[in-house]
Amino acid sequence: MATARRYPTLVQFEAVVHRTKDRLVAIPAQVQRHLSLRKRRDNHIIAFSIRPAGQGRWNHHLAKLTYDNEFAIPADVTRLRGGARVEVKIHRVIPDVPTDVERAHETPGAVLLALAQSSGDDPRTDGSRRVDEYLLGLRSR
C-alpha cells in the first residue's frame, strides 16, 4: 500500500473502469497534458488514490502507467468492476529511469572480482592461515 496521504493532490478526475481491458483506468487527455505525460514505452509510476465516484473510502496505491497512460486497479480493491465510475487523485508522478546500462549487464561474479581488486593492498602476507589473530589484533609485529 502506498502512502499517498503524505503528498498533495496534483490532479483529481473521474473516469470509467474499462470493461474489456482488465480493470484499466485511462487518464483523461486534459490531465495528461497538465501532468506533462506522453506516450512512452517505459512509462512512469504514479502514487494515486481511488474510490467509487463520490462515495467510500480512498484506497492509496502505486501503479505503473501503460504506454497509453492507463493504470490497472490493484487486486485488493475488489469493489471496482468494469464499467464503474471512479474518482482518482494523482499525488505524485515518479519517473522510471533506467539504471546504468554497463553495470546492469555485469554478472555477480564480475562485480565481486571488481570489488576485490579495488579494495587495495592486503597487509597480510601469510594468506588466511592466521585469520583469528588478525581479526583479534594479535598479529606479531
Domain positions in the chain: 4-94
Output the pLDDT for position 109.
Answer: 79
Q: Structurally, what CATH architecture does the domain formed by 4-94 represent?
A: Beta Barrel (2.40)
Cα–Cα nearest to 70, from 21, 136, 109, 122:
21
Q: Max alpha carbon distance in the chain (Å)?
A: 79
The residue type of 12 is: Q
- pTM of the shown model: 0.64
Output the pLDDT for position 122.
Answer: 61
Q: Which residues of the chain have pLDDT under 70?
A: 1-6, 99-105, 118-128, 138-141
If you average pLDDT over every residue of the chain, what do you get?
82
